[in-house]
């Protein structure tokens, strides 16, 4: 008899578990915030036209089919608390404006947010972004924001990854790059290509010793590449191409032994007619003998003025090489 009683209570516990696990995990306030955010924008396939696989992730967000927002496309919740911690709406065909009153900024537990490859109609990034103080990852790339990056973004001190790249519309001038790197000291990934910075490369940038990925391509940067670049000892990807850097490439760049991607191409200051130069002792030979993990090397329009070293063939992982217009000499 006791065995059957045990089975009976075990069955009741099982039913209770099934019933409880079927209950919506997400909080009513966050479900409402997501629905109101969805309603504030329209769906337009051309808003994500650069991505042929784009589709509307928010199209099936509704209460009728499933009230548990943690199961909605692009949403992930903390399994213990039920709070929304990730929102991936990249390539979701979203079109419209986001302002600081958007209910998006009510999702204060977010740690991961991507709105990349949508079209926010050249609106500015809202100052309400500062409410998302738990963010570790923020991707607003190719999403048609414009204007000055708001100073409130500098309050996101937990950020480890920041991608604001694309379309020449954003500016980082007041505050500038120096202020950004002084505040966001935990960054491991920083992608600002096509953001108009219009300054020299601040020395404090190299204080970000945890950086693994840095892209500042087409940022209208000028001056010299600082010798303190060797502080980036965890750097895997470095792209400083298509700016106005001049002078010598510092020999300290050879200390970045983890580099797999290096692009210093197309740096030219038309006002003084000066190319970036790689002319320290060893030149290109030193690069290929020190940076042995390179998979991508692009030095187009860098004045090398030395022969092509035989040791170049030792870069067994190299998949891309461009030395166009480098003034290479015969050996």
Direct distance between the N- and C-terminal alpha carbons of the chain, in angstroms, rounded to an integer? 95
The position carrying tokens 């923020």 is 138
Paired sense of beta strands 75-77 and 84-88, if any: antiparallel
Residue 20 reports pLDDT greater than 60? no
The position carrying tokens 């001056």 is 223
Residue 21 reports pLDDT greater than 70? no
Structure token digits, residue 242: 């298509």
172-202 b/e (C-beta count within 10 Å ≥ 16 → b):
beebebbebbebbeebbbbbbbbbbbebbbb
Query: Burial of 118 by CB count in 10 Å (0-12 exposed, 13-18 middle, 19+ buried)?
Result: buried
Contact 89, 66 (CB under 8 A): no
| Residue 87 to residue 73: CA distance in whole angstroms | 9
Binned at pLDDT 50, 70 and 90, residue 305 comes out as confident
Binned at pLDDT 50, 70 and 90, residue 268 comes out as confident
| Residue 291 to residue 256: CA distance in whole angstroms | 7
What is the reported pLDDT for 1? Answer: 52
Binned at pLDDT 50, 70 and 90, residue 85 comes out as very high
What is the reported pLDDT for 14? Answer: 43
Residues above pLDDT 90, as percent of the chain: 79
Residue 224 reports pLDDT greater than 80? yes
What is the reported pLDDT for 271? Answer: 65
- Tally Cβ neighbours within 10 Å of residue 97: 13
Binned at pLDDT 50, 70 and 90, residue 77 comes out as very high
Residue 295 reports pLDDT greater than 60? yes
Paired sense of beta strands 268-269 and 274-277, if any: antiparallel
pLDDT greater at residue 196 or residue 17: 196
The pLDDT tens digits for 128-146 are: 999 999 999 999 999 999 9
The position carrying tokens 């009153």 is 101
8-state DSSP, 243 = S
What is the reported pLDDT for 7? Answer: 47
Contact 217, 240 (CB under 8 A): yes
Residue 65 φ then ψ, to 5°: -80, -40
Structure token digits, residue 38: 């969805």
H helix or E strand, kind and range, residue 289: helix 283-290
- Least-confidence region, from 42-56, 201-215, 252-266: 42-56
Q: Which of 167, 140, 169 is nearest to 153 (CA)?
A: 140
pLDDT greater at residue 317 or residue 10: 317
What is the reported pLDDT for 12? Answer: 47
Between CA 164 and CA 174, with CA 168 as vertex, the angle to 5 degrees is 70
What is the reported pLDDT for 307? Answer: 86
Contact 267, 244 (CB under 8 A): yes
The position carrying tokens 């500016």 is 171
The pLDDT tens digits for 180-190 are: 999 999 999 99
Residue 328 reports pLDDT greater than 90? no
Residue 5 reports pLDDT greater than 50? yes
* The model's pTM: 0.90
What is the reported pLDDT for 3? Answer: 47
CA distances (Å), 21 to each of 17, 28, 29, 80, 204, in order? 6, 17, 20, 12, 50
Binned at pLDDT 50, 70 and 90, residue 15 comes out as very low
- Least-confidence region, from 15-29, 74-88, 304-318: 15-29
Residue 279 reports pLDDT greater than 70? yes
The position carrying tokens 């519309």 is 169
What is the reported pLDDT for 18? Answer: 36
Contact 260, 238 (CB under 8 A): no
Residue 61 reports pLDDT greater than 80? yes
What is the reported pLDDT for 218? Answer: 96
Domains by residue range for the chain, with CATH: 23-178 (3.80.10.10), 200-331 (3.80.10.10)
Residues 6+ apart with CB under 8 A from 17: none
Residue 110 reports pLDDT greater than 60? yes
């Amino acid at each position: 008899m006791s065995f059957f009683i045990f089975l009976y209570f075990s069955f009741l516990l099982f039913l209770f578990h099934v019933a409880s696990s079927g209950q919506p995990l997400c909080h009513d306030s966050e479900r409402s915030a997501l629905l109101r955010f969805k309603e504030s924008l329209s769906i337009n396939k051309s808003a994500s036209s650069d991505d042929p696989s784009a589709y509307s992730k928010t199209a099936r967000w509704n209460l009728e089919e499933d009230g548990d927002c943690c199961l909605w496309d692009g949403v992930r919740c903390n399994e213990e608390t039920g709070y929304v911690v990730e929102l991936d709406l990249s390539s979701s065909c979203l079109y419209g404006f986001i302002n600081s009153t958007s209910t998006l900024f009510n999702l204060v537990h977010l740690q991961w947010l991507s709105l990349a490859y949508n079209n926010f109609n050249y609106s500015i990034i809202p100052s309400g972004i500062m409410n998302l103080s738990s963010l570790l990852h923020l991707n607003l790339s190719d999403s048609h924001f414009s204007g000055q990056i708001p100073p409130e973004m500098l309050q996101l001190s937990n950020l480890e990854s920041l991608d604001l790249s694309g379309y020449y519309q954003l500016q980082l001038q007041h505050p500038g790059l120096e202020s950004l790197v002084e505040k966001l000291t935990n960054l491991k990934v920083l992608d600002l290509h096509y953001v108009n910075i219009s300054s020299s490369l601040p020395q404090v940038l190299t204080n970000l010793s945890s950086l693994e990925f840095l892209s500042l391509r087409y940022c209208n940067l000028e001056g010299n590449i600082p010798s303190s670049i060797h502080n980036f000892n965890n750097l895997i990807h470095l792209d400083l191409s298509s700016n106005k850097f001049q002078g010598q490439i510092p020999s300290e760049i050879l200390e970045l032994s983890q580099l797999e991607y290096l692009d210093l191409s197309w740096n030219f200051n038309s006002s003084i007619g000066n190319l970036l130069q790689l002319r320290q002792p060893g030149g290109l030979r030193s690069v290929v003998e020190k940076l042995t993990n390179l998979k991508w090397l692009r030095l187009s329009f860098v004045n090398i003025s030395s022969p092509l070293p035989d040791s170049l063939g030792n870069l067994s992982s190299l998949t891309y090489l461009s030395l166009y217009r480098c003034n290479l000499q015969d050996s």
